[in-house]
Amino acid sequence: VQVEAMTERDEREREEGPESVSTRTCVGCRAIAPRGDLLRLAALGEAPYVAPDLERKLGGRGMSVHWSRVCVVLAAKKGGFARALKRSVTIDPEALADDVVRVVVQRAESLLVAAARRKKLALGTEAVREALRGTGVEVLVIAGDADGRPEELEASAARLGGRCAVLGTKTSLGRLFGRDELGVLAILDRGIGDEVVRCTVRAAAMRGVERAEAE
Ligand SMILES: [Zn+2]
């Protein structure tokens, strides 16, 4: 029992590392990266065996992977998951990557809802235009299927240092605020704006083949 307890602790320490060590190895490409640049996956006792742990709160054994569909697929194909879990497992990397996209988008959506409660959002073209006359706009969020991409919005995004995030659809954005549709909104809080941009970059990288750039 004692040996087992020791082993578990060693494993935890190897994974979590002492506080001074802040790097992890990607279970896919096996590159070492700062902890904050990698997604934590928590180990589950049964299928699907791993689950995204965005907040790093699930505890137990886990592993780290780049915010990249490529690395998730590599981990499944090259045995990275099996190595980390110390058992032979069948993990569907496409389903896992889709699951990560879903939870990251949900996080961005809940951040927007929280921002609305704090009156830190401008909703819809008119309100966004009005907000852009001032200096409080941190990030523009545009629905993926928004009509056109009005030049005015693009120019505004450029003025904000390209701080423009594409998220969901007009319908999914609208639903967050009790509207049928919403094509554009502006975030007026820097912290929330930063985090929403981070979420959308990561979701895009997990959806496609590009790796989210380290920040
Ligand atoms: Zn990787």
| Ligand 1 midpoint to CA 109 (Å) | 26
Least confident interval from 116-120, 148-152, 156-160: 148-152
Other residues' Cβ atoms within 10 Å of the Cβ of residue 176: 18
H or E element: which one contains 87?
none
Q: The pTM is what?
A: 0.82
| Ligand 1 midpoint to CA 211 (Å) | 8
**pLDDT at residue number 201:** 92
| Ligand 1 midpoint to CA 33 (Å) | 9
193 vs 58: which has the higher pLDDT: 193
| Ligand 1 midpoint to CA 205 (Å) | 12
Residue 7 has pLDDT above 50, yes or no: no
| Ligand 1 midpoint to CA 65 (Å) | 6
| Ligand 1 midpoint to CA 179 (Å) | 39
Q: What does the alpha-carbon distance between residue 83 and residue 54 come to, in Å, rounded to a whole number? A: 21
Cα distances from 10 to residues 44, 65, 128, in angstroms, run 19, 20, 52
| Ligand 1 midpoint to CA 31 (Å) | 6
Q: For the chain, how many helices (H) and strands (E)?
A: 8, 9
Strands 38-43 and 62-66: antiparallel
Locus of tokens 């001032």 = 134
Residue 208 has pLDDT above 80, yes or no: yes
| Ligand 1 midpoint to CA 100 (Å) | 15
| Mean local confidence (pLDDT), 168-185 | 96
